[in-house]
Amino acid sequence: MKKFFLLFFIGVIIVSCSDDYSIVSSVDNNNPLKMVEADASSQLDAMLAYQSLMEVCLNGKTRAVSTDYPSYYGGAYINENNKLIVYSTDLSFNSDIYKLTGTNNIMIEQCTYSYSELTNVMEALNGYKKKNFGNDIARNFDLFYVDDAHNCIVVELKDYSENSIKAFKENVSNSSAIIFRQSKGDFRELVDSVNAGSQITLAVSSTQTGYGSVGYRAKTTNGTIGIVTAAHVALKGKKLKYKGVEFAQADESRWQNSGNLDAAFCPISNFSYQPANLIDGSSNYLSTSLSLPGVGTLVNKRGQTTGSSSGNIVSTNASCTVGTTLFEGLTSVSKQMTCQGGDSGGIVYTYVSAQQKRFTVGIIKGIDANGLVYYTKAPEIDSAFNLSRY
């Protein structure tokens, strides 16, 4: 009999963000691996309005550039009352915003900076990091992100002195949209060392193995089936094991651990093991529909170490550095979403009971020193690797 499963790895990333969202924790402290979900149905109207807005701006793309946004648009987020807040630099365009969102059931607020301005600043910071990894100024800021809810960009500095801030402004960016904060620690990718044969494992060396979690199943245009997980879990060209049995191998041509992706597609090599959409530890199934949710949206995760937990999206444009590699365009989630070693590569999804769907959202990369979890966006993974959910 064939075995059907969907395992969940989840890695962790570090980019610090303000945490303005309060939710009821979905973790069962007596049994952390028990399947518990947070339902985003109360946010459905706001989610649909944001989706309509992004469909116009993105026009079928998974990533936007500054010129894609209306000149007056300043960003959007779902607040604690589940209402979509849309920022505008010019309130005379309110009627246009209502048309873009397809509803009047939103709140429009004045802001200082357009989203195009914020995106341009992020692109400048990413560009400086890429060109100057070796200098002291670049090494001093590893974490930075767009804070949509506060219409600004947060840059965390390891050396938070006046001289360091001055050097940043003189050499990197003097934008008034930037807020500086003291960094609390470095980026961590959570792959634990374990004995061979436990859960899904990957050989790190001749004497050591690492383990993580699978995100979701996918297939190529020619019908090759496999699973998607984090690239720092499934090393390029290496084989994966499930309960000690080799079942998949990371595709060298569909593997990326830089830029906007920490993801690997791993075709199934042992067909006694077939990936399914069943969420590990539950009777719940992932939808094959992908989603790009906005700030404030309630999302869930499943990982093999910590099981289920949930949180609200804090930023959809966050950058961080691991070693000398810059990651950009990541999404961060509030610290109510808990992760530990072995969760790398796990699934992030949005559960909307009103639509009877669990939308595939992303793959966990890591966690920052403030406890915020970061993930790679699923639509960007599938677009880059030419994959589809099934």
**Is 105 within a domain?**
no
Q: How far apart are CA 107 and CA 68, in angstroms?
A: 22
Count of C-beta atoms within a 10 Å radius of residue 308: 25
**Is 235 within a domain?**
yes
Statement: residue 341 has pLDDT above 70: yes
Q: How far apart are CA 365 and CA 361, in angstroms?
A: 13
**Is 56 within a domain?**
no
pTM, full prediction: 0.83
Dihedral sign (CA 315, 210, 305, 370): negative
pLDDT at 196: 20
pLDDT at 200: 63
Quickly state the pLDDT bin for 194 (edges 50, 70, 90).
very low
pLDDT at 204: 52
Statement: residue 95 has pLDDT above 80: yes
**Is 339 within a domain?**
yes
Q: What's the domain range around 215?
A: 1-42+134-390
What digits encode the pLDDT tens for the residues 292-308? 999 999 999 998 888 89
**What mean pLDDT, rounded, does the chain reach?**
86
Of the given ranges (178-187, 199-208, 222-231, 308-317), which has the lowest mean pLDDT? 199-208
180's tokens? 């500086």
Tally of domains within the chain: 1
DSSP 34-46: S----B-GGGHHH
What digits encode the pLDDT tens for the residues 264-320? 999 999 888 888 898 887 888 999 999 999 999 999 999 888 889 999 999 999 999
**Is 87 within a domain?**
no
According to DSSP, residue 56 is labeled H
Spell out a b/e string for 333-356, using b for 16 or more CB atoms within 10 Å of the CB, else e.
Answer: bbbbbbbbbbbbbbbbbbbbeebe
Statement: residue 99 has pLDDT above 70: yes
**Is 21 within a domain?**
yes
Cβ(313)–Cβ(299) under 8 Å? yes
Quickly state the pLDDT bin for 193 (edges 50, 70, 90).
very low
pLDDT at 6: 39
**Is 6 within a domain?**
yes
Of the given ranges (6-15, 98-107, 162-171), which has the lowest mean pLDDT? 6-15
Task: Summarize the confidence of residues 179-196 as an average pLDDT.
Answer: 67
**Is 367 within a domain?**
yes
Task: Summarize the confidence of residues 145-165 as an average pLDDT.
Answer: 97
What digits encode the pLDDT tens for the residues 111-128? 999 999 999 999 999 999
Nearby residues of 23 by Cβ (< 8 Å), 6 or more positions away: 38, 298, 310, 311, 312, 334, 336
